[in-house]
Amino acid sequence: VVRSESGEAVGSHSVWSSGAKVARGILVHEYGAAQVLKPSRVEVGSPARGDLRLRQTFVGVNFHDVYVRSGLYQTLSLPGIPGVEGVGVVEEVGTGVEGFETGDRVGYIEAHYGGYASERLLSAARAIRLPPGLDDRTVAAVLLKGLTVEMLVRRVHRIREGDWVLVHAAAGGVGQLLVQWLKNLGAHVIGTVGSEEKAELARRAGCEQVVMYRREDVRDRVMEITGGRGVDVVYDSVGRDTFGASLESLAPCSHLVNFGQASGPVEPVALAQLAKRSSTLSRPIVFHYIDRRLAFEEMCASLFSVLEKGELRVETPRVFGLDEASAAHSFLESRASVTPIVLAV
Ligand SMILES: NC(=O)c1ccc[n+]([C@@H]2O[C@H](COP(=O)([O-])OP(=O)(O)OC[C@H]3O[C@@H](n4cnc5c(N)ncnc54)[C@H](OP(=O)(O)O)[C@@H]3O)[C@@H](O)[C@H]2O)c1
């Protein structure tokens, strides 16, 4: 059990022990705006069987954390510590753990939260040893987003050379990585963005065409660009505001992949909408795809390989201190971010 200063249990990775260590953590006591993220002192026990205790160096900030904090998902039991990815050094290894030892540098993604802290307990099944060529800050900025992209282009849909693809929020954290990976696979990418500055970034990532979706009609522009045929795949993480245009932009026998809802949840869809063009609709979550250890290792190897070869460029992350988690969330929600965001511990 991880406990806050007041003695509340705020996590459930390990058995409470009298030798617990005091750490810093960001607690949420009630769902709400960014200000509900409160720096606190927490106690972290010893690792149970199968667990590691990690001293963290950098923690990734993701839009997922915003949904969790605001209460849209209601998946964090309160009081609780949000955060699904980080990088650190193994300080203690629980019994029954194979493949990790004290001093190992590891990254992880963990659907059960607890990331926004200086130390944490973690199931070894969620951790991966890091290649020496990749620094902590870069991995914290890119692990969840990069594995999501790997899932999107290789597993949810196998992208083929020559495919036409529409990517919403193409200059976002996931967006820039997704566009680059699609380009490397030989796809033609149309990106949507919210500002001129972001249009430039989307082009630099590899978009052949950029649509300013706050003032241009996405469907009309896509049809103009594709000669009236539409796109083979849409990757839509914006949700409510873009979903209708995504459906209308599809070519025959196409695939609409909704993987996020930055503007709000999507309304229910009538199957007949898909029948219009024999389209497929998917709603993937990366945590399901990494649940099997073998798949997790394969996806990490694939991501680390493109990063090490320089085939995937990561913008220098914007760094906030752990205690500034609230400012980091406000910044992400303001739509002003053009680089990934990490918290330095
Ligand atoms: N399914 C999964 O497993 C999975 C895993 C990871 C991430 N995701 C999803 O991927 C998306 C991107 O995540 P990220 O962390 O990289 O964030 P991000 O793309 O850096 O930020 C979200 C972007 O969405 C756009 N947006 C459009 N309408 C918005 C609104 N009403 N409020 C805020 N932003 C709005 C903004 O770009 P513009 O200014 O250009 O409009 C904003 O920068 C999120 O939806 C996230 O949930 C899903």
**Taking 50 as the threshold, does the pLDDT of residue 12 lie above it?**
no
3-state percent breakdown (helix, strand, coil) of the chain, nearest 5: 30, 30, 40
Question: Any bridge partners for residue 9, and if so which?
Answer: 3
Task: Using DSSP bridges, classify how beta strands 250-258 and 280-282 pair: parallel, antiparallel or unpaired.
Answer: parallel
- From the CA of 21, how far away is ligand 1's center (Å)? 35
Question: Any bridge partners for residue 52, and if so which?
Answer: 93, 122
Q: Is the CB of 155 under 6 A from ligand 1?
A: no
Q: Is the CB of 193 under 6 A from ligand 1?
A: yes
By most ligand atoms within 8 Å of CB, the mutation choice from 73, 196, 234, 238 for ligand 1 is 238
Please give the single-letter amino acid code of residue 192.
Answer: T
Mean pLDDT of the chain: 94
**Taking 60 as the threshold, does the pLDDT of residue 17 lie above it?**
no
DSSP assignment string, 265-307: PPPP--HHHHHTTT-EEE---HHHHTSSHHHHHHHHHHHHHHH
Q: Is the CB of 50 under 6 A from ligand 1?
A: no
Task: Using DSSP bridges, classify how beta strands 318-321 and 2-4 pair: parallel, antiparallel or unpaired.
Answer: unpaired
Q: Is the CB of 318 under 6 A from ligand 1?
A: no
The H or E element that residue 189 is part of is strand 188-193
The model's pLDDT over 187-227, given as tens digits with 9 standing for 90+, comes to 999 999 999 999 999 999 999 999 999 999 999 999 999 99
Q: For residue 170, give the ligand 1 atom closest to its CA.
A: 40
Q: Is the CB of 258 under 6 A from ligand 1?
A: no
Give me the pLDDT at residue 21, please.
Answer: 84
Instruction: Give the residue whose CA is nearest to atom 36 of ligand 1.
Output: 335
Q: Which two tokens stand for residue 114?
A: 């607890």
pTM: 0.94
Give me the pLDDT at residue 15, please.
Answer: 33
Q: Is 133 exposed, middle or buried (0-12, 13-18, 19+ CB in 10 A)?
A: exposed
Q: Which two tokens stand for residue 94?
A: 């629980």
Q: How far apart are CA 310 and CA 317, in angstroms?
A: 16
DSSP assignment string, 34-64: GGGEEEEEEEE----TTEEEEEEEEEEE-HH
**Taking 70 as the threshold, does the pLDDT of residue 330 lie above it?**
yes
**Taking 90 as the threshold, does the pLDDT of residue 237 lie above it?**
yes
